[in-house]
Structure 1
Amino acid sequence: MERLLLVAGLTALIHLINTVIYAVRVAGVRTGRPATAMSIFNVVFLLSSTANMIQGPLMATIVEGTILAAGTLAAREQALAGLAQHIRLVLAAATLGTLLGFLGQRAFAHFFAAGVALFEQVGGSVPRLVCLLLCRPRWAGQLARRHALPYPPAVRPHDPPGRLPRGFLALNVLVTGIFTTGVLSALYAGALYPDYRASATMLASLVNGIAQVLFATVVDPTAARLTDHALQGQRPFADVQRMAFHLAATRLAGTVLAQFIFLPAAYLIRFVAVLIT
């Protein structure tokens, strides 16, 4: 159980950080330095990458333990049912992490805007910036507040998407749902058919690859275009705030969607694994 809770905690952290990227766009436009804001975010993203490297193998060991513990048919069915509940707990942790990122959008935008101001003060050195935040956090906070720009009112939950394309918001729900459950569904497919679990696990990259194509060709370019238009003065800053709000909201909906597509995706992966072997 401790291992499962650790996996859930790491999953929540990963999805929290992945949701924060929308606040980075807001901070980048507000400060006029989107590249610097993204560079600072990459330092934070190292936490997500490290958590992902730990979370994946830990989840795999939980699945392997389920496979090895299942002796009789009845025991196997009971073990699979328990594994499914464990995976749903991990998916719920992904929703929780995304929710925290969604609720903290404005605070994170302030954080990265302040980070840009501090980055300029320390001469563009990330190691020096990290040392400043760790060794002199109070002084760093005062300096950041002195140089950070004030923010307009935050987007409210009932604000409509406005001029944002509805299609890419809907697609963000689907892409997030696939990303959230892709590896977990593949692991569960391997537990359903242990003889083909290596093939099933490798198919996770194919599933996530489809989502990556949709993200890289539709979602991200549209968000980048809206951000560029705001930087060039063709759109108001409020549109970027609205975009970040609704992207985070649709990402949250995507993690909920993952709960519904988890089992169908697992059975589909199992079918393909059997088909190609």
Structure 2
Amino acid sequence: MTVQIYLVFILTFIIYVIGTLAYSMRIVGIRTGRIAVSFAVFNVFTLIQRTANTIQAPLLAKTIENGINTGQSSGLLHIFRWIIFSITLATITGAFLMPTFIKVFNKLVISFSVYRSLPKLMMHAFSKSGIEQFKKSISIPKKENLRQLTSFRKIPRKVILLNVIAFSVSSVSILSALYAGCLSPSLRTTCSTLSSVINSISTIFMVIFIDPYLSMMTDDVIRGECTELEFNRCIIFIVVGMIIGSILAQLVLVPASNLIVIIAKLL
């Protein structure tokens, strides 16, 4: 594997850890009562995660060209599956780190009301006292939180299912378009342009169905119509859905690539 491939693995892992931890901000918003600030940070994180997939294309471009020129494009499927595996690993890692970062983000949101400046807040975070606070915040998932997965009471199953589908599609949006170009080299330019269309579909799913539901549920918690425990359980199921979606992406990769080739031929 080339340096570019290893760089894709590392960046993909970091990006999806950040994307998973972004959901911690919704819990922090409920606990601190600073909904606007928490959701602003959440939107920044999700924007990074949902758009950063585009870095895969230029970094993988040379490897794909070499595979096509040497007639070894079939070996690229193995690389793509490892990239998707890094997404699964990153999502699991992010889920494991959520208890720690809920405490960290809780302190950051409260500190933001004091500093009222993101650069000053970042300087404080990397100061000696900020690092000490981070060490004190380190914790592991509690067993009682994991037990919440056994209860499906008041869990929006349709929203969770849509989240699984949306995440699996977003995980393979770029990769399936690139692999479609390997399957049909003469149409690889057309196939690569279709990746943005696929990524937009998953983003629309998130913006129209998942994000608004979580926002409404947040309002319900504030009004007392929903408990914080129920909200936290919903977030846990959302994150688990992301893990399942990344695993499902392994099955979606090749069919999605074949579908892109068909669409490219019809255009």
Scaled by the length of structure 1, the TM-score of the pair is 0.86
Structure 2 counterpart SS, 1:164: coil
Q: For structure 2, list consecutive stretches of 5 or more residues without a partner in the other structure.
A: none
CA positional deviation for 1:197: 0.6
In the TM superposition, what whole-angstrom CA distance separates every residue of 1:8-62 from its partner, at most 9, and x where no partner exists?
Answer: 1111111111111211100011100122123344666687589656443102222
In 2, are the aligned partners of 1:193 and 1:270 still within 8 Å (CA)?
yes
In the TM superposition, what whole-angstrom CA distance separates every residue of 1:79-134 from its partner, at most 9, and x where no partner exists?
Answer: 22210000000000010111111112221211211111111222x11110011112
> Structure 1 residues 121, 137: CA separation in 2 closer, same or farther (over 3 Å shift)?
farther
Q: Which residue of 1 aligns with 2:105?
A: 112
Q: Which residue of 2 aligns with 1:37?
A: 38
Equivalent residue pairs, number: 261
> Structure 1 residues 65, 129: CA separation in 2 closer, same or farther (over 3 Å shift)?
same
CA positional deviation for 1:171: 1.1
Q: Which residue of 2 aligns with 1:274?
A: 265
Residue 172 of structure 1 aligns with an amino acid whose one-letter code is: N
2:117 to 125, 140, 164: 125
Aligned 1:152-171 pairs, distance under 5 A: 155-157=145-147, 158-171=149-162
2:81 to 74, 84, 88: 88
In 2, are the aligned partners of 1:200 and 1:273 still within 8 Å (CA)?
yes
Aligned 1:183-262 pairs, distance under 5 A: 183-262=174-253
In 2, are the aligned partners of 1:177 and 1:257 still within 8 Å (CA)?
yes
In 1, are the aligned partners of 2:64 and 2:73 still within 8 Å (CA)?
no
In 2, are the aligned partners of 1:40 and 1:115 still within 8 Å (CA)?
no
Q: Distance in 2 between matches of 1:42 and 1:216?
A: 11
Q: Distance in 2 between matches of 1:93 and 1:180?
A: 11
Q: Distance in 2 between matches of 1:181 and 1:140?
A: 36
Scaled by the length of structure 2, the TM-score of the pair is 0.89
CA positional deviation for 1:242: 0.6
CA positional deviation for 1:68: 2.3
CA positional deviation for 1:190: 0.7
> Structure 1 residues 252, 59: CA separation in 2 closer, same or farther (over 3 Å shift)?
same
Q: Distance in 2 between matches of 1:47 and 1:210?
A: 17
2:48 counterpart of 1:57: no
Larger Rg belongs to: 1
